[in-house]
A and B are shown apart, each in its own frame.
Chain A
């Protein structure tokens, strides 16, 4: 999957900074996990079955080649569809953030800074300010790196309970506390009178449904909506508490870090992914935005795999019947598996089933149909951290730009085009990719360019009513 860096939602960790590592981790973890899962499945299945699979191997090879071509074609064909599937949530998140920034003044008021950015930016000289912001960004990034490594270590030593507890506390904090604050500020802005009992009821319902949807099962649309909402909440917190130059610096450094962590062989995210794949496990739930529902794998013959998939994707799965027909499977096979992952699996090992019993049966199947249906309906996954940072960029642009709406619009278009390009690269490279660098780079370039260059130009044009 385009490992558009599966960022752990910040809320997962309860702490703002903790989220970052999670984000990165989830991205890479998710991706590598999926891929590894395939490979490890295959490996596991292969070894004991070497003799019996001698014959089926040949069929597999031919099937693999055919599948590869079909996959490629279908990839590009449905690439556009997947791009659109991601455009909508990203746009929604940004719209929510911009709307809030424009209307609720709380998020643009300076009420102090996070402890992760201890240096103030209200200094006398420009040099001092620059130094402070660099230090702030450095502290933030090192916190992220430390958290990431901590997560890798925890994962390596199988402290799953700790990680799950961490995630649950984060989501609790985000769903209850931050949304309570948000609701309070919105009421203040619109001067709506509200009593505590009603608010308690609303927040309670919102939070509990959110926890269930995100960590367990729920309707896909509802889960997507919740993920968008918590990304927006997180982004708003960042916009409020990060001072100007620090925010831009952090954005820039995080996209570099994302690039390094996902692509370098020794990056923590990559290591995490590798570990996860070795163990054939899924990544943490509720850190990734998925555009399609996870259905359990199609056929009854694939039950063991279906169960594996089910356990992996339990968070997204609402309809758990394991006996969907192939037609229904075409609907939303992907949930937990990105298209990229599926393709990789299919390309490398053919559409084999992991259980020894189903192997022969599976290989006798017209595997083409399975793979050809899958790419159509496979969704794309994007990490929540990506949502958050995109929204932070656009939100900051709308909050602090002199060009106001022009700058916001320009950043928005730049980010979407960056996302397109990333998805294109994903279709070409078919491996986990960081989603931040290209979009954030475009966004930053366009922000500074529009704010400083285009704004005066458009201003003058509007003043004289010239049109270009």
Chain B
């Protein structure tokens, strides 16, 4: 969560500088700058995920060295999951919390002609992002562990795609549907990478031991 926060900080710093250096009245330029800010932020987030991976790697080495039986009490997969959840929660919290606070107050959604589904779609989008961050954490760390660079690239590309799809808002079908599809794909992939299989799933669902 902290790492995500730092990446957000740096990316907003860049965006802020860009905005201050540009003309505030030029609408398309501002929007363009915002888009640039979003892309840059996505890249920074992934970079920080990588940095966090490096830090956790060192921590695991330390734990292994200190443990009695040669293996660390927490595995890298657990750390990947936790890292993903941390990223996701932080990003979700930052996206939603002001919205929620405003939702408590008086007002009418979309009274000025904007979409009336603003809160709903924001909620769904945030949820999908949180899940995605969790899965991306697992995929990313797995890719780093086993040196499969294409996995890492896939995560980055997926993130860019999801963020990019939100540029279609308020045409929500353009952003929510692809995001959910990507989430399902990432979920399946992460599940398989973590050692799950169709058989496991069947056993779980049918409550077989």
Please give the residue numbers on chain A whose beta carbons come within 8 Å of chain B beta carbons, in ascending order: 72-73, 76-77, 403-406, 409-410, 413-414, 417, 446, 449-450, 452-454, 456-458, 460-462, 464-468
Give the docked Cα–Cα distance between A387 and B62 (Å). Answer: 31
CA distance A343 to B73 in the complex (A): 23
Among B94-102, B138-146, B188-196, B197-205, the one that faces the other chain is B94-102
Closest to B93 in A: A409
A456 touches B94 (CB 8 A): no
- Tell whether A464 pairs with B63 under 8 Å between CB atoms, given A409-B97, A410-B5, A458-B94: no
Min CB distance A247 to B, Å, is: 22
Contact in complex: B34, A404 (CB < 8 Å): no
Query: Interface with A: B12-20, B50-58, B77-85, B150-158, which one?
Result: B12-20
CB-based contact B2/A73 at 8 Å: no
Do A462 and B98 contact each other (CB < 8 Å), given the known contacts A417-B2, A446-B9, A456-B16? yes
Q: Report chain B residues within 8 Å CB of A450.
A: 9
Are B13 and A468 in touch, CB under 8 angstroms? no
- Cβ contact within 8 Å between B121 and A465: yes
**Closest B residue by C-beta to A405:** B97
Q: Are B13 and A449 in contact (CB under 8 A)?
A: yes
Residues of chain A within 8 A of B99, CB atoms compared: 462
B8 CB contacts on chain A under 8 angstroms: 454, 468
Asked if B63 and A446 sit within 8 Å, CB to CB, the answer is no
> Is the beta-carbon distance between A457 and B66 smaller than 8 angstroms?
no
Q: A407 CB to closest chain B CB, in angstroms?
A: 10
Contact sample, A vs B, 19 pairs, CB 8 Å cutoff: A73-B67, A404-B101, A409-B94, A449-B13, A453-B9, A456-B12, A458-B94, A458-B98, A462-B122, A464-B31, A464-B34, A464-B169, A465-B118, A465-B121, A466-B34, A467-B129, A467-B163, A467-B166, A468-B45
Quote the shortest CB–CB distance from B69 to chain A (angstroms).
12
Beyond A410-B5, A467-B163, list 11 extra A-B contacts (CB 8 Å): A77-B73, A405-B97, A409-B97, A417-B2, A446-B9, A453-B9, A454-B9, A464-B169, A466-B38, A468-B42, A468-B163
* Most chain A Cβ neighbours within 10 Å, of B38, B67, B91, B170: B38
> Which B residues touch A464, using CB under 8 A?
31, 34, 169
For B66, list chain A residues within 8 Å (CB).
72-73, 76-77
Q: Would you call B37 an interface residue if the criterion is a C-beta within 8 Å of the partner chain's C-beta atoms?
A: yes
Q: Is B134 in contact with chain A by the CB < 8 A criterion?
A: no
- A457-B12 CB under 8 A given contacts A77-B66, A406-B98: yes
CB-CB under 8 A from A406, the residues of chain B are 94, 97-98
B184 interfacial by beta-carbon distance below 8 Å:
no
- Check if B167 is an interface residue, CB within 8 A of chain A: yes
- Partner among A72, A414, A456 whose Cβ is within 8 Å of the Cβ of B2: A414
Report the Cα distance A452→B91, complex, angstroms: 18
Residues of B within 8 A of A76 (CB): 62-63, 66
* Residue B182 interfacial (CB < 8 Å): no
Cβ–Cβ contact B121 & A453, under 8 A: no
In the complex, A466→B126 CA distance in Å?
Answer: 11
- Verify B98–A467 contact, CB threshold 8 A: no
Q: Which residues 28-45 of B sit at the A interface, judged by CB distance below 8 A?
A: 30-31, 34-35, 37-38, 41-42, 45
Instruction: Write the nearest CB–CB distance from B88 to chain A, whole angstroms.
Output: 12
The 9 closest A-B pairs by CB, nearest first: A457-B12, A465-B169, A405-B97, A454-B12, A467-B166, A468-B41, A453-B12, A417-B2, A453-B16
Verify A465–B9 contact, CB threshold 8 A: no
For residue B60, CB closer than 8 A to chain A, the reply is no
A456-B30 Cα distance, complex, nearest whole Å: 12
CA distance A139 to B67 in the complex (A): 51
Between A404, A414, A453, A467, the greatest number of chain B beta carbons within 10 A of the residue's beta carbon is seen for A467
A468 to B44, CA, bound (A): 10
Residue of B nearest to A75 (CB): B66
Residues of B close to A73: CB separation below 8 A: 66-68
B186 in the interface (beta carbon within 8 A): no
Q: B147-185: contact bitstring with A at CB < 8 Å (1 yes, 0 no)? A: 000000000000000110011011000000000000000
Q: Which of B2, B9, B98 is in CB contact (< 8 Å) with A405? A: B98
Choose one: A405, A409, A413, A466; the contact of B169 (CB below 8 Å).
A466
B97 touches A467 (CB 8 A): no
CA distance A449 to B11 in the complex (A): 11
Among B1, B5, B95, point to the contact of A462 (Cβ < 8 A).
Answer: B95
Question: A413 and B38 in contact (CB under 8 A), knowing A467-B95, A467-B163, A468-B11?
Answer: no
Could you say which residues of chain B place their CB within 8 Å of the CB of A449? 9, 13
CB A78 to nearest CB in B, in angstroms, measures: 11
List B contacts of A453 (CB < 8 A): 9, 12-13, 16
B47 interfacial by beta-carbon distance below 8 Å: no
Is A413 touching B129 in the complex (CB atoms < 8 A)?
Answer: no
Docked Cα-Cα span, A77 to B66, in Å, equals 8
Residues of B within 8 A of A405 (CB): 97-98, 101
Q: How many angstroms between the C-alpha atoms of A76 and B41 in the bound complex?
A: 35
In the bound complex, what is the Cα–Cα distance between A77 and B73 (angstroms)? 9
